[in-house]
Amino acid sequence: MKFILKWEELALFALSIYALYDMQVQWWIYLLLFLGPDISMLGYAAGNRAGAISYNLFHHKGIAAIFFIAGWLPGSWALQVTGIVLFGHSCMDRTFGYGLKYFTGFKFTHLGLIGKQEDSK
């Protein structure tokens, strides 16, 4: 099942790239898609709880949807792009096994431990 979910996340990531292309964004916004939301990891400098909260705010698909809808309703291009970037980045991270964080530390996610070896079965 994890294999199927990773492919689903990869497809959603590709969809976000297409959405940015369709919206004719500048090239540097694609860099934000790959790296921008990871600035939220700076929250871990204030501890695991603050780090998890800041990371999850920037990597939650519901927050991304809120930004997109908040931009779509009044026609705000910038808010729509922000929502797509947040959504696409979250999909990319989940493709690689990085999920939303628990307060116990960075490596503890809703998808399991980061770096944990899986059985070959």
User: Can you spell out the DSSP letters for 29-90?
Assistant: HHHHHHHGGGGGGGGGGG-HHHHHHHHHHHH-HHHHHHHHHHHHTTT-HHHHHHHHHHHHHH
**What's the average pLDDT block by block, 10 residues per block, for the chain (121 residues)?**
90 97 94 92 96 96 97 96 96 93 92 68 43
pLDDT at 112: 85
pLDDT at 121: 43
Enter the pTM of the model.
Answer: 0.89
